[in-house]
Structure 1
Amino acid sequence: MSKDTITIDTQHGGMIHDAQLDYYGKLLATCSSDNIIRIYSIENGSSDLACEITEHSGPVWRVAWSHPKFGSLLASCSYDGTVKIFSIDKDKSYSTVYVYSGHKASVNGVAWAPYEYGLCLAAVSSDGSMSIHYLANETEWKSQSVLVCRSGCSSVSWCPYRPTASEGVIILRVAVGAGDSCVHVLKCLSSPVNPWEVESKLRGHSDRVRDVSWCPFIGFPVNMIASCGRDCQLCIWSQKNGDAWTTCHKQTYTDPVWRVSWSITGNLLAVSHGVDQVDLWKEMIDGSWRIVNREEKN
């Protein structure tokens, strides 16, 4: 085992559904089927339980840290149908700053918008809708909802911020993994408070899309989205110069594919599949995609 590897016994009483480090890599949030969120302080190669959040009444599916520009905020979503935002204080205590109960079914995914758009959170639900939550002033949160797919939504990821002077107006986009086997790309103009609409549907999966991840901006006029589905497929989608989306890579696994996640620099794609495996995919000079590393638990 590498000396840089830390093993944490979370002592959750159920399956762990998500684990996210904050911006600085100092706090790790985990969430579980036991309805609990735990936050660990990571320092000098060791971990300590900083606080435990027991505000949900159902399994907690996802957690997401805000950009530090807005403080230490943690968003969560749950089978109980709520979206919650907690403020984590310097003494590692927490307070609930926002609760949204407008969804009619399990809320399956949450993601913060790029900080350039202000303090804004997207959430998607099994009721088929996406809700957008934003801080209207110093104390008041507001929200809006848009129907994406009647078959339900499982995951959401924001397009990274990038200047779009040639378009004359900033266009915000999100990718949503849905139950109709499609990745839905939604857009709105200038600000997340404006109306949202479906811009594109990416068709390539043959079953429910489990996860989506928008590749970080790496300096080229290319959009790239990774998705995985219940059909055991990994799809990597590409859009150049605003043209139509195309599938630049597709891989069929022999075991379930659960999550996809890009590296910060956008040059590596991590794909978790099976019981305990992670593949790292990289695009080669010739445009092909190859696994450059594979971690398998012994």
Structure 2
Amino acid sequence: MAQVISNSGHDDMIHDAVLDYYGRRLATCSSDKTIKIFEIDGDQHKLQETLKGHEGAVWCVSWAHPKFGTLLASCSNDGRVHIYRESPSTSPSHPAQWTQVFTSTFHTASVNMVSWSPPDLGCLLACASSDGQVSVLEFRNNQWDHTIFAAHGMGVNAVSWAPSGALPGAIARKDGGQQNANAKRFATGGSDNMVKIWEYNQQTNTYTQMGVLPNGHSDWVRDVAWSPTLLSKTYIASASQDKTVKIWTSTNPADIGSWQLAKVLEFGDAVLWRVSWSLSGNVLAVSGSDGKVSLWKENLRGEWECVREITE
């Protein structure tokens, strides 16, 4: 969703703004082809760095988990994914420095979204492209490997990783939920109106489609978000050009047949751009073309209600 941040220093529309793990830094990206890093102090923000290198609008930025150092990924209309690393300050005369440590040129069209995996799966970055493919970059043995596969024929707009760990309802299961506990799994949303789930297959060394979520959208899926917390069930939300948000639930995400459409949120005339879960996994933020952000929560009766609306 395009946003305005006062005194951002960007010369054009801002497409993404993301806080780091500790909430101390904000990365923004824009149609002006740059990324800006701000230091956050209370309600003040101070520009720390401007990162260049893209040749088109930058759609999305994503911070890696700090266990891998200070890494920031970005993707652009130029078809490239950049990974930047900050080397810490060693002395006042040697301040912290940002360098571009890797560039992915595996896609032939705009890369629309990048998403880091949960850290216990490794240093993995999924990239969704308008060329219909998803690539997964992985840093191991001191180098960047990649796998790339066809996902949505008409273009991939969004990707979101499943949380890792014991599956929902694990306590009640004989294996304690450890089976597939660290499966590499994510959801994608495409211009074919579908939300698909993928899982890494060690035998074939690539990601295999587990299936398509039932009762999908009637227009492009703009965003998809897998709830980051392992509650009694797991949730996937998607935002679409068809002016609805859909929420699916499952008590066993490894079984594609267990996924059910739990709720359709309708938004009148607003095309929907982004969906995002709270860290606790039970509040969903929705934003769209009407400039509003609404927060939704499931009550004890299993009904979804709007608990807050913020107008920009």
Asked if 1:188 is matched to 2:192, the reply is no
Q: Which moved further from structure 2: 274-283 or 64-73?
A: 274-283
- The alignment's TM-score, normalised by the length of structure 1, stands at 0.92
Paired amino acid for 1:101? T
Letter of the structure 2 residue corresponding to residue 269 of structure 1? L
Q: What letter corresponds to residue 264 of structure 1 in structure 2?
A: L
Instruction: String of CA shifts for 1:160-182, please: whole Å, max 9, x gaps.
Output: 11135556444221110101100
Question: What stretches of structure 2 of length at least 5 have no aligned partner?
Answer: 89-94, 168-174
Partner amino acid, structure 2, of 1:250: V
Classify the secondary structure of the residue corresponding to 1:116: helix
Structure-2-length-normalised TM-score: 0.88
User: 3-state SS of the aligned residue for 1:286?
Assistant: coil
**Pairwise CA RMSD:** 1.7
Q: Quote the Cα distance in structure 1 between the aligned partners of 2:14 and 2:60.
A: 10
Kindly provide the CA deviation profile for residues 69-92 of structure 1, in whole angstroms up to 9, marking residues without a partner as x. Answer: 011100000000001100023344
| 1:148 maps onto 2:151 in alignment | yes
Segment of structure 1 superposing worse, 159-168 or 194-203: 159-168
Matches within 5 A, 1:188-267: 188-189=200-201, 194-202=205-213, 203-220=215-232, 222-241=233-252, 242=255, 243-254=257-268, 255-267=270-282
SS in 1 for 2:126: strand
C-alpha distance in 2 between matches for 1:174 and 1:291:
27
**Pairing 1:177–2:192 present:** no
1:109 and 1:199 map into 2 onto residues whose CA distance is 21
* Percent identity between the two aligned chains: 39
Return 5+ residue gaps in structure 1 as ranges.
1-6
1:27 is the counterpart of 2:5: no
Report the alpha carbon displacement of residue 190 of structure 1 after superposing the two structures with TM.
6.4
1:211-265 Cα deviation digits (max 9, x unpaired): 0000022332x22101011111110011123442111110121212110000000
Aligned-partner Cα distance in 2 for 1:197–1:260: 25
Judge conservation of contact 2:229–2:279 (CA < 8 Å) in 1.
no
SS of equivalent residue, structure 2 residue 258 = coil
Quick check: 1:175–1:186 contact (8 Å CA) kept in 2?
Answer: yes
Partner of 1:129: 133
2:268 counterpart of 1:268: no
The one-character-per-residue Cα deviations of 1:129-165 (angstroms, maximum 9, x if unpaired) are: 0001001212x11101011011100010000111355
DSSP 3-state at the match of 2:120: helix
Query: Partner letter of residue 153 of structure 2?
Result: R
Partner of residue 162, structure 1: 165
- Partners of 1:209 and 1:286 lie apart in 2 by 28
Aligned to 1:289: 304
Count of aligned pairs: 288
In 2, the alpha carbon distance for the partners of 1:260 and 1:195 equals 27
- Looking at structure 1, the residues matched to 132 and 43 of structure 2 have their Cα atoms a distance apart, in angstroms, of 42
How many angstroms apart in 2 are the aligned matches of 1:118 and 1:150?
A: 28
Amino acid at match of 2:251: K
Q: Aligned partner of 2:263: which letter?
A: H
Where does residue 171 of structure 2 map in the other structure? Answer: none
The change in CA–CA distance for 1:60 and 1:36 in structure 2 (over 3 A counts) is same
